[in-house]
Structure 1
Amino acid sequence: MEATSPSTSLWKKILGLVLAFGPGIFAIGYTIGTGSVTSMIVAGSTYGMQLLWVLLLSCFFSGVLIYVYGNYALLTGETALFAFKKHLRFGKLIAILIILGISFGQWNSLMGILGISSNIIFEIIHIYFPSVGDHQYETVLIVAITVIAIFYALLLVGKYTFFEKILVIFVTIMAFSFLISLFMVYPLPIEVAQGLIPSIPKVQGGQMMVAAFVGTTMAAATFLSRPLFVQGKGWTIQHLKQQKKDAIIAASLVFFISATIMAVACGALYHQGQPVTKVIDMVGVLEPVAGKFALTLFFFGTLSAGLSSIFPCLLIAPILVADYQSGKLDTSSKQFRIITFIACLFALIVPIFGANPIEMQILSQVFNVFVLPLVIIGILLLINNKKLMGEHKTSFLINISLFAALFFSLIISYNGIMAIIGY
């Protein structure tokens, strides 16, 4: 037998660690898409590291909610919306409002994701083949149709484990791309420290940016889908510790990757006085500062973020409907195929009409905030129901964290309403 070299052994360990990731990979897929990347780039290029504290709070509360929803599923065997409908007063109405709100937010987000991802592919091609610049609209549209068609074909496989592996690949590429970019362009340590002191930019668009931050890092879709993906993974009450570890890793990675993106944008763009408002802005300013290689790496990270979010965004409406109907993860029925096909057509709106995908993306993240208080109130009522939880009493610390998350979400929702009125 041939001896395994140390380098081969190391790669096998890394690969095993990556592939061992659980349902938390979907939390990262939902949270860090082009919506998150766009918000972080716009914030980093416009306000420096000033909004790092918002990101930290959002990721902490997000981790608590991922953990609590996952735990509820393992302890009771029930999924979120099915439990709302079954146990809460006005639960059916609450569940329907949540489905409508999240589907609207995620489908709007999907338009922006596909628009930005298609533009990024175009920009990568344009870096090396400048002649395609004369046919931007046609190229972007063809790319968008091709991307969404490939993802729809992959969805027809209908297996949880397959979706998980695809997401692992995209998230890994994304994380490494942004990390390498950070070594090339980074902010001053004092700017990072100052970013942890709570403050809101007192400029036009500052309030909307804060709401968009929370909308993308505390995405209600992440928590509601958690019980379904825990179910798809095959976890039971014996996996409580594994579920907790998975939730902590997911929230930590969301913060680490998002903060890295903001830091790269701050280091490369903020001090140039060049805030990002369009995808093309990322090219003109970043290339002279970071070079073509760093720019390509950063674009591949952003592209991977977008592609890793297309899967979850296409999945969300049909799996929430199935959750409401039966409390089961459904990825192979006719209903699933029809709803995801409609979502694919919806995704093409931005590329077809040539709208600004970054503006659409930030607005969609703001809309995501409004469902959040309902989602937090719902789980608070469920986990404190003694008949449901039996001997599994919810800890004081978890309750305090959830009430703090609810208070935070209400403030941000109000902030989002003011921002949209102002917009």
Structure 2
Amino acid sequence: MKKFGPGLLVAAAFIGPGTITTASVAGANFGYTLLWALLFSVIATILLQTMAARLALVSGQGLAPALRANINQPLLKYLAIFLVISAIGIGSAAYEAGNLSGASLGLQGLFGQHTGSIWTPVIALISALLLYSGKYKLIERTLIFLVGVMSLVFIATMVLAQPSLSDLFAGFKPSLPTDSLTTVLALIGTTIVPYNLFLHSGVIAREDTRQQEVDQAIRAHNWDTGLSVGLGGLITLAIVATASVAFFGQQTGALNAATMAKQLEPLLGTYAQYFFAIGLFAAGLTSAITAPLAGAYAVCGMLGAKDKVEDTRFKLVAIAILVFGTVVASLGLDPVAVIIFAQASNALLLPIVCIYLLWLLNNKAVMGQYKNSWFVNLLSLPVIIIVIGLSAYKLVSLL
């Protein structure tokens, strides 16, 4: 456990209600055949997040301040500020409603549907108190605990479902079943999340690496990122495998994070609903905390404000994102227009940020002796190509 640290915030951020739904649908519709896409997305996420972490350790800046400091052309700088605030700030607010609703659905599964109206404001209040406390260690420990709960619940569920190991390993051989492209891209897109690059680098930039060797710090964070994102991938794999055993080849009707628990009862017994609900609650709450954090790191960093958890303006941005999500979730409003805008902004931002991150990591003036090796650049090329393709597909589908 000593190897784990800020990287677990990345896992906490991308394992949310949306990931549970995407993984459930992938397993139910295509069995194990899309596990190769999950493996690719985990490797790509580890690669991108370790680069963002190294940038923060060497330069002492998160990704947002680094973008602001190193884009010298005024028009490009303002465009970058607009895109980051649109995609990460507004995007986090738009998706926050889904995170709070997911956590609320988990508690409804535990305490009954009639309790539904009270949980969203309660969860929002807990998240707000954590964020406004300004105590990073408290936030980090809470998220580590919740990721632990998720891991136990979903991996134990997979073990109880008893998937075929030979079929499971066969799923890592690339194939593209009919009508599976959208699900493949959804699996990749729900893991490679642009706001995690801002969140991870922002958290690491707060560390004081002057008291330790940079080499040692980079190695420690590489371990942390690899183990944490790998654990997130294992949780997603567990959900895919469970859905595959329970639903593949059957007529299950509508399947999502909320209904899956109930539909698992024939396979896992009457306690399945409560067991899965705990995992859904943990997934929703972790994302409900990390989305405002990521949005605040991005917005404050791009505007030149202090991107520190303790800073009042940072707290206000995070709380504003949380309040927007709470209002939408509590009042049952339909944030479709905001979500479409956020998705379009994310689709534009992700390849730009990935390419610019790669440029920064090859810039000797920024990274010195810690710039990318030719091997890391070679590994990055297919990731960048897939990210560009994913973003283009998302933009076309939105249009």
Question: Is the counterpart of residue 410 in structure 1 residue 388 in structure 2?
Answer: yes
With over 3 angstroms needed to count, the CA separation of the structure-2 counterparts of 1:256 and 1:68, relative to structure 1, is same
Aligned to 2:235: 257
TM-score in terms of structure 2 length: 0.89
> 2:157 and 2:79 mapped to 1: Cα distance?
46
SS of aligned partner of 1:144: helix
With over 3 angstroms needed to count, the CA separation of the structure-2 counterparts of 1:365 and 1:303, relative to structure 1, is farther
Aligned to 2:21: 38
Query: How far 1:229 sits from its partner (Å)?
Result: 0.9
Aligned to 1:57: 40
Question: Is the counterpart of residue 198 in structure 1 residue 158 in structure 2?
Answer: no
Tell me the amino acid that sits aligned with residue 333 of structure 1: D
- Match among 155, 174, 197 for residue 179 of structure 1: 155
Query: How far 1:166 sits from its partner (Å)?
Result: 0.5
SS of aligned partner of 1:54: helix
Query: How far 1:304 sits from its partner (Å)?
Result: 0.8
Aligned to 1:6: none
* Long gaps (5+) in structure 1: 1-16, 127-132
Q: Is the 2:360–2:366 contact (alpha carbons within 8 Å) kept by the matching residues of 1? A: yes
Q: Is the 1:42–1:276 contact (alpha carbons within 8 Å) kept by the matching residues of 2? A: no
> 1:260 and 1:279 mapped to 2: Cα distance?
14
Q: Is the 1:111–1:347 contact (alpha carbons within 8 Å) kept by the matching residues of 2? A: yes
Q: Is the 1:219–1:369 contact (alpha carbons within 8 Å) kept by the matching residues of 2? A: no
- Match among 35, 38, 50 for residue 67 of structure 1: 50
Question: Is the counterpart of residue 350 in structure 1 residue 329 in structure 2?
Answer: yes
1:360-408 Cα distance to aligned partner (Å, 9 max, x none) = 9999778744421011111111111122222334201111122221101
Q: Could you tell which deviates more after superposition, 412-421 or 308-317?
A: 412-421
SS of aligned partner of 1:329: coil
With over 3 angstroms needed to count, the CA separation of the structure-2 counterparts of 1:265 and 1:217, relative to structure 1, is same
With over 3 angstroms needed to count, the CA separation of the structure-2 counterparts of 1:223 and 1:242, relative to structure 1, is same
Q: Is the 1:50–1:195 contact (alpha carbons within 8 Å) kept by the matching residues of 2? A: yes
* Long gaps (5+) in structure 2: none
Query: How far 1:233 sits from its partner (Å)?
Result: 4.3
- Match among 192, 200, 211 for residue 226 of structure 1: 200
Query: How far 1:54 sits from its partner (Å)?
Result: 1.3
Aligned to 1:24: 7
- Match among 87, 95, 103 for residue 89 of structure 2: 103
> 1:370 and 1:419 mapped to 2: Cα distance?
13
1:267-306 Cα distance to aligned partner (Å, 9 max, x none) = 1222433154445532442112211223322221121111
Tell me the amino acid that sits aligned with residue 332 of structure 2: F
With over 3 angstroms needed to count, the CA separation of the structure-2 counterparts of 1:275 and 1:248, relative to structure 1, is farther
Tell me the amino acid that sits aligned with residue 216 of structure 1: T
Aligned to 1:3: none
Counting aligned pairs with the same residue, the percent is 25
Q: Is the 1:46–1:274 contact (alpha carbons within 8 Å) kept by the matching residues of 2? A: no
Aligned to 1:305: 283
Aligned to 1:118: 104
With over 3 angstroms needed to count, the CA separation of the structure-2 counterparts of 1:153 and 1:78, relative to structure 1, is closer
With over 3 angstroms needed to count, the CA separation of the structure-2 counterparts of 1:222 and 1:107, relative to structure 1, is same
Q: Is the 1:229–1:329 contact (alpha carbons within 8 Å) kept by the matching residues of 2? A: no
1:283-339 Cα distance to aligned partner (Å, 9 max, x none) = 442112211223322221121111111111121222212222447532233323332
Q: Is the 1:22–1:233 contact (alpha carbons within 8 Å) kept by the matching residues of 2? A: no
Aligned residues: 390
- Match among 186, 195, 207 for residue 212 of structure 1: 186
With over 3 angstroms needed to count, the CA separation of the structure-2 counterparts of 1:373 and 1:200, relative to structure 1, is same
With over 3 angstroms needed to count, the CA separation of the structure-2 counterparts of 1:39 and 1:356, relative to structure 1, is farther
Tell me the amino acid that sits aligned with residue 319 of structure 2: F
> 1:195 and 1:365 mapped to 2: Cα distance?
29
SS of aligned partner of 1:217: coil
Q: Is the 1:98–1:374 contact (alpha carbons within 8 Å) kept by the matching residues of 2? A: no
TM-score in terms of structure 1 length: 0.84
With over 3 angstroms needed to count, the CA separation of the structure-2 counterparts of 1:233 and 1:261, relative to structure 1, is farther
Q: Superposition RMSD on alpha carbons, in Å?
A: 2.7
